[in-house]
Amino acid sequence: MTTPAPEDIAIRRLPFESPTRDLMAGASRHEVRLHEHGMIALVDVMPRVVPEGQTADAAIVQAARVSYGAGTKHVQEDRGLIRFLMRHRHTSPFEMVEFKFHVAMPIFVARQWIRHRTANVNEYSGRYSVMPDRFYRPRPDQVCAQSKANRQGRGEPVDIGTAEQFLVYLEQAEAVYGEYERLLDQGVSRELARIALPLSVYTEWYWKCDLHNIFHFLGLRLHPDAQAEIRLYAAAMYALIQPIAPLACEAFDDYHLHAMHLSRLEIEALRSGRPLQSTNEREQAEWHAKAETLGVEPPG
């Protein structure tokens, strides 16, 4: 059998059955400015066009009802079905919604962000283009000491004298940009000249990801232990997607973002009234924090 050429294949183009609306209301982008030079902008969403009165949640419901067939007929409404899917970790229907963002952020934020390997990413290239003269600098009150409880986090603000010393240190790092420009003018290649620039310099990228994996990103990056700078981007991202898929975001709030996971050992401690059967200090500390949130006295 001969494979037909694309022009020989008959394509039916069917109209929508009811009036539709653009989920971005005709805008080219929805943008949030962050820090002095940063931003995150929603530039596209799939589905972009939905029936009037619906949101992108409709694509989640559509996919779930195809996948589960008669098994979901007892769920009478879209909200109930979406909450069922979230509750029971049926994740693939959430992959039917995708968001594309344009993001400008410091390189140290980008290097944390890129650890989420489930997105399509295209980043500004310092090999092809000159790196911009834009740097991230925190306010003095945002310069904090190393956390005593979290090895990779920060604790309370340092004294003002130390904070000012840190800002001078950043100024010195930023000063290399003048050398970067001078060496470019003298013929040094862009790919080599850039390697001495500090992590505070800004980069940017387009980042496209499905809703299931965005929820995973947000669950980690909205956590209080996440670095403050990336947490700000995560909060802005969440604000951008909530109007597009409000039912899915509500379910994510209720069952993940503001929910709590209990381990087998923690459940047994609650049931038995005995101490947590673990000698691990971190497990013990996490159990006490959960008990405090639940308003119960940890046994033992």
Residue 59: pLDDT band with limits 50, 70, 90: very high
Per the structure, the count of domains in the chain is: 3
Residues 144 and 182 in one domain: yes
Q: Is residue 45, in this structure, part of any structural domain at all? A: yes
List, for residues 215-269, the tens digit of each pLDDT value.
999 999 999 989 999 999 999 999 999 999 999 999 999 999 999 999 999 999 9
Residues 144 and 42 in one domain: no
Residue 75: pLDDT band with limits 50, 70, 90: very low
Q: Is residue 159, in this structure, part of any structural domain at all? A: yes
Reported pTM: 0.91
Structure tokens given for 61: 């419901």
Q: Tokens 């470019």, residue?
A: 184
Residue 138: pLDDT band with limits 50, 70, 90: very high
Share of the chain above pLDDT 90, in %: 86
Residues 105 and 51 in one domain: yes
| Closest of 217, 205, 215 to residue 242, by C-alpha | 215
Structure tokens given for 75: 């769920």
Last residue of a domain, one of 154, 182, 199: 199
Q: Check whether 76 has a pLDDT greater than 60.
A: no
The vertex-84 CA angle with 233 and 113, nearest 5°, equals: 20
Residues 174 and 26 in one domain: no
Q: Is residue 7, in this structure, part of any structural domain at all? A: no
Alpha carbons 231 and 224: distance in angstroms, whole number: 8
Residues 222 and 125 in one domain: yes
* CATH code assigned at 221: 3.30.1360.170
Alpha carbons 187 and 182: distance in angstroms, whole number: 9
Residues 122 and 141 in one domain: no
Q: Higher model confidence: residue 176 or residue 298?
A: 176
Q: Is residue 95, in this structure, part of any structural domain at all? A: yes
Residues 179 and 286 in one domain: no
Q: Is residue 185, in this structure, part of any structural domain at all? A: yes
The pLDDT assigned to 300 comes to: 65
Residues 63 and 142 in one domain: no
Q: Is residue 220, in this structure, part of any structural domain at all? A: yes
Q: Is-catalytic flag, 115?
A: no
| Active-site option among 139, 221, 231, 271 | 221
What is the domain range of residue 194? 137-199
Residues 91 and 125 in one domain: yes
Structure tokens given for 179: 């050398």
Residues 119 and 255 in one domain: yes
The pLDDT assigned to 69 comes to: 55
Residues 65 and 103 in one domain: yes
Q: Is residue 99, in this structure, part of any structural domain at all? A: yes
HEC secondary structure over 161-198: HHHHHHHHHHHHHHCHHHHHHHHHHCCCCHHHHHHHCC
List, for residues 29-46, the tens digit of each pLDDT value.
999 999 999 999 999 999
How does DSSP assign 203-232, residue by residue?
Answer: EEEEEEEEHHHHHHHHHHHTSTTS-HHHHH
Residues 162 and 183 in one domain: yes
Q: Check whether 74 has a pLDDT greater than 50.
A: no
- Cis, peptide link before residue 224, omega less than 30° from 0: no
Q: Is residue 124, in this structure, part of any structural domain at all? A: yes
